[in-house]
Every structure is written in C-alpha cells, then in structure tokens.
Chains A and B, each alone.
Chain A
Amino acid sequence: MNMKNEEIIAKINEFLVEEFEVEADTITPDAILKDTLGLDSLDYIDLVVVIESNFSFKVKPEDFVGIVTFQNFYDYVISKVNSKELI
C-alpha cells in the first residue's frame, strides 16, 4: 500500500526527533535542516542510514544538493518513495 505524503512526513519527523534528539516543534517545513538538527558532516551519515532503513531506497551523495529546508527534505523523500527506486 502506498504511503500518503502526510504519512511520510509524519514518519520522517518521528525518526528525526528520535535520532537527533530535537524537540518536535522545532521541525517546521521552512526551518533549515542542518541548523535545526545540528548536523555536522558525519551526522549526515546517520541521516542517510535512517532514511534508507525507514524507506528502503538508496541515497546518493549528490541527492543532498539543494536540500536546505525540511520541506526540501520531505519533497526529496516523497519523490524517491513514489519513484520506487528501491535498494
């Protein structure tokens, strides 16, 4: 069964709160992903791991180009889930 976009976003927010130990209300579509989650370069590895394990598609380094806000990130994950580019 295909996940609805709202379900995907809810799932993303859930694992971001858990993995990066941030308050749920700091995650808003326009917030800056890197700043809000406090990501350094190696933290992106954790982000890739949770994406791949939760959504079963393979992330490429170049995929992060252009992902600045949470909305960008949601759009990316939703497009990959919908394109069924599975591992």
Chain B
Amino acid sequence: MFPIKNINDLIPQKFPFVMIDQLDDSDETSTRCSFTIRDENIFTVDGAFREAGLIENIAQTAAARVGFIAMMEKKDVPVGFIGAVKNLEINDLPKTGETIVTEIKITNTVFDVTIISGTVCLGDKIIAQCEMKIVINPELKAS
C-alpha cells in the first residue's frame, strides 16, 4: 500500500500549496511523509525552504493521516485547521533538491482537537519539530 503517491487524494490542499509528495507510512499512532524541495515552491526563497513551509509540511503530514483514514473508511476527506503551534524549533532549512522526511505522532485527542508532535528530518538530522493542535471539522469536506 505504501508509499501513496496520489497525495491530492488524501489532503484538501491544492497546488501550489501542497507541501508533501507522498505518504510513506501510517499506523494508529504515527504517520510519515516525504517531500522534495523544489525551487518553484512558494516557500522556497534563495534556494532554501522557509520556516512557514516546514510548519505547513508538518500540518499536511497530519492531514495526510486523516485523509488516509478517510480513504480506508471510504469517506470524504475532512478539512482541518492548525489551531496552535507550540514549542517550535527550527534548526536548519532544507535546500532545493533535498528530500525531507516528516513524522507526526498523535499525542492526545481532546474533544475535536488532535494534538500531535511533529519532526522534520533531513537524513538523520532533525531540522524542525513542534507540537501542534489540529482542529478537524467533520462537516467541512474537501472539494
């Protein structure tokens, strides 16, 4: 099943705001996506993928998890929102042509809010990490 390369089937975001290339793995507690930095990406400036792109990359990895579950259950992909970002650390910015691997882990689910921890790795090095609260709106479906 993995990797799933038709990422547009899993997440509500559309070009040019897609910040993951493929879903590499997903289980009950964690999900992993990869993404190759391109020069034409809207978050690439002077050959480096900027901080906002890394945050969105983590959020979209979480979105891919939700989309994957929806796909398995043959349901529409729901739309989610970043509610809050906490303890953000960015140690490096990936360069054009480099591939980052992002993993999110579900740390808690409270009411309609999912709390995740996300790490972005370039090779063996963690270049970014944060905690994120993601609010899923089950009534709002991706078009």
Contacts and interface: CB of A to CB of B under 8 A. Distances in A.
Contacts, number: 18
B113 interface: yes
Contacts of A59: 110
Instruction: Say what secondary structure dominates the interface of chain B.
Output: strand
B111 A61 contact: yes
A45 interface: yes
Interface in A22-79: 42, 45, 48-49, 52, 59, 61
Nearest to A49: B108
B111 A49 contact: no
A49 B108 CA distance: 8
Interface in B72-113: 83-84, 108, 110-111, 113
A42 B84 contact: yes
B114 to A, nearest CB: 10
Interface of A: 42, 45, 48-49, 52, 59, 61
